[in-house]
Amino acid sequence: MSDDWKGLHLIKSKPKTSDERRSENNSLVSRMGHKRRTAQGCNMSAVKGPWAETIQRWQLRGKIERGQG
């Protein structure tokens, strides 16, 4: 059986809008940044960066609200 069909579902004939391209580019840049920091041994949550603190506050708020309900 031929493997020629593989990947055909990924081909799109409709051109993407500028918002779709921007979203995909931002996602790619974010993933590359995370991989680069991981490769360098930098762990944002371990060093308590601003992102980690924001996520922690958000998670704690959700736990507190669920606990009172």
Q: What CA–CA distance (Å, rounded) separates 60 from 56?
A: 6
Residue 5 lies in a domain: no
Task: Supply the pLDDT for residue 19.
Answer: 92
Structure token pair of residue 54 = 């924001």
Calculate mean pLDDT across residues 30-47.
81
Give the structural domain span for 34: 16-68
pLDDT surpasses 90 at 22: yes
Residue 36 lies in a domain: yes
Give how far Cα 38 sits from Cα of 5, 10, 19, Å: 36, 29, 29
Residue 24 lies in a domain: yes
Residue 29 lies in a domain: yes
Count: domains in the chain: 1
Residue 27 lies in a domain: yes
Residue 20 lies in a domain: yes
Residue 54 lies in a domain: yes
Task: Supply the pLDDT for residue 28.
Answer: 92
DSSP 14: S
Does this model's pTM top 0.85? My answer is: no
Q: Are 26 and 20 in contact (CB under 8 A)?
A: no
At 56, is the pLDDT very low, low, confident or very high (cuts 50, 70, 90)? Answer: confident
Q: Are 62 and 54 in contact (CB under 8 A)?
A: no
Residue 58 lies in a domain: yes
